[in-house]
Amino acid sequence: MNKPIFFTAGPSQLHPIIPDAVQKALDTQIGSISHRSAPFQELFSETRNMLKTLLQIPQEYEIFLLSSATEAWERVVENTVERETFHLVNGAFSQKFAEAAEHMGKTVQTHKAPDGKGFSASDIEVPKTAELIGIVQNESATGVAVEPDLIHSLKRTFPEKLIAVDIVSSAPYAKLDYSHIDMAFFSVQKGFGVPAGIAFLVVSPLAIDKAKHLAENRKAPVNYHNFQALQKYSAKNQTPETPNVFHLFLMHEVLQAMLKKGIQTIRKETDEKADKLYSFFEHSKIYQPFVREAKDRSPTVIMIKTADPAEIIKTAKEHGFMLSTGYGPYKKDHIRIANFPSHESDQVDKLIKILHNYEHETAHKKTSES
Ligand SMILES: *Cc1c(COP(=O)(O)O)cnc(C)c1O
């Protein structure tokens, strides 16, 4: 049998250029270069520049290399918040972001929406004392995406507060206006199709200033990934520690391929594949999109309610397609399907066909049993 295709929510299918990139990394001995050498500086600088171009991040923003999005939750809070954060929570990942702030000893307030629902700007009351608003733009546990405009409007209403956005399962698709965002972060094993092990944190000048102010007043911890250390090395196109150079190189190669394709094409293809999947599920008798309102549906993580996920996942696997179960309490009656740039349109068609045949066969079985 052919290698399976991972339509899992993350880690997910690797980008098609990864095998060549791995070979190139070995050929060029990238795993042995010093992180203080010119070749590393060039690699790091080019990678960050390509990210800025792909996502249209303002030139004056910093991009730091971290080890995971989980780390980013902590670094963001630790470096830029003295006392209080405010979070939009509508699922397990946005909840975890809020809990990370709690574990860092901050006062945490939340605005909650039920699982599967989005937020409406008029319902959100941001506490005056909150220094940072934490948002998970794409809630991977439920398949809800937050409208970028809602995020931008929060910045317009509260320009002095820091807006921190988790884009782990929506980057590079999410079309954000970074002039209205202070921090955004993602790990690479979802939408970028790179093996897990690194993450990027985008930081605005306002957030850098806040971190500097807290550090000068000894209100931020001194550790190797504090913003001052990251910024000091960043100025030299370096990192404080010996980083995961190998995966940084793979990311460099993926970004090159993505820029060649163009972000508009990537977004358009993602929308087209999402439309195919959602319209199939909407017309099905055994699968229902968990998110009722079309405007709240994530194009990149699609959650489906269905009676027998284990059987469906098993059937798809037999055909070479890996799917995810629901997350946490949704495990027993939901599946999740990722729709990232590494998932090709004809693979989506094949997956739909398999799910369609499964539905057809179960209906047939039921009729012959009764
Ligand atoms: C997967 C995921 C994370 C965690 O990413 P790690 O790389 O495992 O730290 C955080 N937020 C969201 C929305 C995710 O989907």
Please list, in sequence order, all residues whose beta carbon lies within 8 angstroms of the beta carbon of residue 19, skipping any fewer than 6 positions away.
none
Please list, in sequence order, all residues whose beta carbon lies within 8 angstroms of the beta carbon of residue 288, skipping any fewer than 6 positions away.
281, 282, 304, 305, 306
What's the 199 CA to ligand 1 centre distance in angstroms? Answer: 10
Instruction: Answer yes or no: is the C-beta of 11 below 6 A from any ligand 1 atom.
Output: no
Please list, in sequence order, all residues whose beta carbon lies within 8 angstroms of the beta carbon of residue 6, skipping any fewer than 6 positions away.
12, 13, 14, 322, 338
What's the 70 CA to ligand 1 centre distance in angstroms? Answer: 6
Angle subtended at Cα 264 by Cα 262 and Cα 270, rounded to the nearest 5 degrees: 105
Please list, in sequence order, all residues whose beta carbon lies within 8 angstroms of the beta carbon of residue 338, skipping any fewer than 6 positions away.
6, 7, 8, 9, 10, 12, 13, 169, 190, 300, 301, 302, 324
Q: By alpha-carbon position, which residue is closest to atom 10 of ligand 1? A: 69
**Predicted pLDDT at 370:** 59
Greatest C-alpha distance within the chain: 75
Which stretches of the chain are DSSP H helices? 18-27, 38-55, 69-80, 92-103, 148-157, 205-216, 227-234, 245-261, 263-282, 309-318, 345-369
What's the 318 CA to ligand 1 centre distance in angstroms? Answer: 28
How many residues would you count in the chain? Answer: 370
Instruction: Answer yes or no: is the C-beta of 168 below 6 A from any ligand 1 atom.
Output: yes
Instruction: Answer yes or no: is the C-beta of 136 below 6 A from any ligand 1 atom.
Output: yes
What is the pTM (predicted TM-score) of this model?
0.97
What's the 145 CA to ligand 1 centre distance in angstroms? Answer: 15
What's the 186 CA to ligand 1 centre distance in angstroms? Answer: 7
Distance CA 273, CA 103 (A): 39
What's the 96 CA to ligand 1 centre distance in angstroms? Answer: 10
Please list, in sequence order, all residues whose beta carbon lies within 8 angstroms of the beta carbon of residue 38, skipping any fewer than 6 positions away.
none
What's the 262 CA to ligand 1 centre distance in angstroms? Answer: 25
**Predicted pLDDT at 12:** 98
Q: By alpha-carbon position, which residue is closest to atom 12 of ligand 1? A: 168
Q: By alpha-carbon position, which residue is closest to atom 14 of ligand 1? A: 168
Residue of 6, 140, 200 to test ligand 1 pocket, by largest number of atoms within 8 Å of CB: 140
Helix (H) or strand (E) holding 305: strand 301-305
Instruction: Answer yes or no: is the C-beta of 169 below 6 A from any ligand 1 atom.
Output: yes
Quote the distance between the C-alpha of residue 238 and its chain's center. 24
| 109 phi and psi angles, rounded to 5 deg | -115, 150
Q: Which residues on neighbouring strands pair with residue 187, listed in sequence order?
A: 199
Please list, in sequence order, all residues whose beta carbon lies within 8 angstroms of the beta carbon of residue 1, skipping any fewer than 6 positions away.
320
Instruction: Answer yes or no: is the C-beta of 10 below 6 A from any ligand 1 atom.
Output: yes
**What's the distance, Cα to Cα, between the start and end of the chain in Å?**
36
Helix (H) or strand (E) holding 89: strand 84-89
Angle subtended at Cα 96 by Cα 223 and Cα 87, rounded to the nearest 5 degrees: 95
What's the 108 CA to ligand 1 centre distance in angstroms? Answer: 20
What's the 69 CA to ligand 1 centre distance in angstroms? Answer: 5
**Predicted pLDDT at 140:** 98
Q: Report, in angstroms and rounded to the nearest whole number, the Rg of the chain calculated over CA atoms.
A: 21
Instruction: Answer yes or no: is the C-beta of 174 below 6 A from any ligand 1 atom.
Output: no
What's the 360 CA to ligand 1 centre distance in angstroms? Answer: 35
Instruction: Answer yes or no: is the C-beta of 325 below 6 A from any ligand 1 atom.
Output: no
| 328 phi and psi angles, rounded to 5 deg | 55, -120
Residue of 71, 87, 93, 300 to test ligand 1 pocket, by largest number of atoms within 8 Å of CB: 93
pLDDT in tens, the chain (370 residues): 579 999 999 999 999 999 999 999 999 999 999 999 999 999 999 999 999 999 999 999 999 999 999 999 999 999 999 999 999 999 999 999 999 999 999 999 999 999 999 999 999 999 999 999 999 999 999 999 999 999 999 999 999 999 999 999 999 999 999 999 999 999 999 999 999 999 999 999 999 999 999 999 988 888 999 999 999 999 999 999 999 999 999 999 999 999 999 999 999 999 999 999 999 999 999 999 999 999 999 999 999 999 999 999 999 999 999 999 999 999 999 999 999 999 999 999 999 999 999 999 988 887 776 5
**Predicted pLDDT at 364:** 81
